[in-house]
Amino acid sequence: MVFILVTLFIDILGIGIIIPVLPELIREFLGEGFTQASLYYGVIISTYATMQFLWAPVLGALSDRYGRRPVILVSLFGLGTDYLIQGWAPSIGWLFLGRIIAGIMGSSITTGFAYIADVSTPETRAQNYGFVGAAFGLGFTLGPLLGGLLVHPALSGYLGLGRVSLRLPFFVAAGLALVNWLYGFFVLPESLAPEHRSTVSWRKMNPLESLRRLRAYPLVAGLAAAFLFSSMAQRGLESVWVLHTGFRYGWEPVTNGLTLGLVGVMAMLVQGLLIKPIVTRVGERRTITLGMTASMVAFLAYGLASQGWMVPIVIVFGSLSGIALPAIQGLVAGTVLPTEQGKIQGAFTSLTSLAAIFSPLIFTSGLFSFFTSAAAPVILPGAPFFLGSLLFLVSLLLLVRLFRRLPATPGA
């Protein structure tokens, strides 16, 4: 657990570093304002997600056959190299290429979740996935904060750059990913026992086939449907956040980095400390519905927040939503056979990627771009969050229906 948590932490830290600066880099390439940049940003994020959708089941199936360790190591080395490509990108076309490669290599998170399933017991699986959420939270705490600070004018002057360099976070992310690869090469052990390995075929690596495999587990298939709608809302928030706060509150990368750091701190506290006692007290199913309800209310509050000082308050409350995903992953891991963990986790990663393909186009290139333009009947930058709240309501209704149709068995 310690090895994989450190690996995932450094991986997410590298991703988090570029979050506050990527929209600004696109604006620099285009020389345009928020409306035009949001169109390109949505397409770039969608391209990244498309690659994850196509490659997540491939890496999941390969890890079921050859083990988790080699897949994780190859992905980390490729991700570190790709950050260098993005850092040196001379045009927005090269940036697109970099995000395509990043999407392929970023699919290794699928293997990380399968690794957790390998080393978890029924008693520890929800807690372990909570630790993963805490590692993600810590990575997203320090990542955006570090990314914002790296482009601060004072640091640029101290380093003798002359002006703010939006490229610096990419090079730091490359260094972290390569250090992560080096760490894993010497320390990370294999988690999948030889007797639990399965054969690999092109059919198993087909993303649509991996989704069809969910039908073998009715409870998992129902969870996947609700997971898809909630993932669309969450990916929509991530794609529109920096553009929204810049337009509505005039926030710079440093402010966004600090605020996203608060998101990470709260996620780390909730998922690291509250998951186990909540699941123990109310069970995985009620934990999931409680988290979805908190998400629905938080998204509505984000859309209504007219002043920047309101956002941290919503972040603190909305952090309770972080209990849902580890509980879902724990419930899935406890339902699926050991030989199927990689493929099913790959299917869920594909669902996340499928949601992330369409969410930036809908939330960012569509709703945000339109409702901040002169063509909109009313300027409504919070429109994407209202849609997100509605999607969480749909997820909640699907879960209530699922749990009534498939009640928990004793000890489940």
Mean pLDDT of residues grouped by 10 in the chain (412 residues)? Answer: 76 74 80 72 80 79 83 87 86 86 76 80 74 73 77 59 67 85 84 75 66 81 89 86 89 80 80 81 90 95 94 93 83 77 72 80 86 88 94 94 80 45
pLDDT at residue number 158: 55
Q: At the top level of CATH, which class does the domain 2-187+207-405 belong to?
A: mainly alpha
Position 249 scores a pLDDT of 93
- Domain coordinates of the chain in residue numbers? 2-187+207-405
Could you give the CA distance from residue 368 to residue 386 in angstroms, rounded to a whole number? 11
Alpha-carbon dihedral sign for residues 124, 125, 131, 134 = negative
Q: Which two tokens stand for residue 285?
A: 């199913």
Q: How far apart are CA 104 and CA 214, in angstroms?
A: 22
Look at residue 204 in the predicted model and tell me its pLDDT.
63
Integer Cα distance of 354 and 234 in angstroms: 12
Query: In the prediction, which pLDDT does 114 show?
Result: 80
Backbone angles phi, psi at 377, to 5 degrees: -65, -25
Would you state the pLDDT for residue 115? 83
Q: What pLDDT score does 411 carry?
A: 45
- pTM, whole model, 2 decimals? 0.69
How far apart are the C-alpha atoms of 280 and 260, rounded to whole Å?
Answer: 29
pLDDT score at 162: 45
CA dist 140 and 131 (Å) reads 14
Q: Which residues fall within 8 angstroms of residue 162, CB to CB, at 6 or more apart? A: 156
For residues 371 and 271, the answer to whether their CB atoms sit within 8 Å is no
Residue 200 · residue 61 · CB < 8 Å: yes
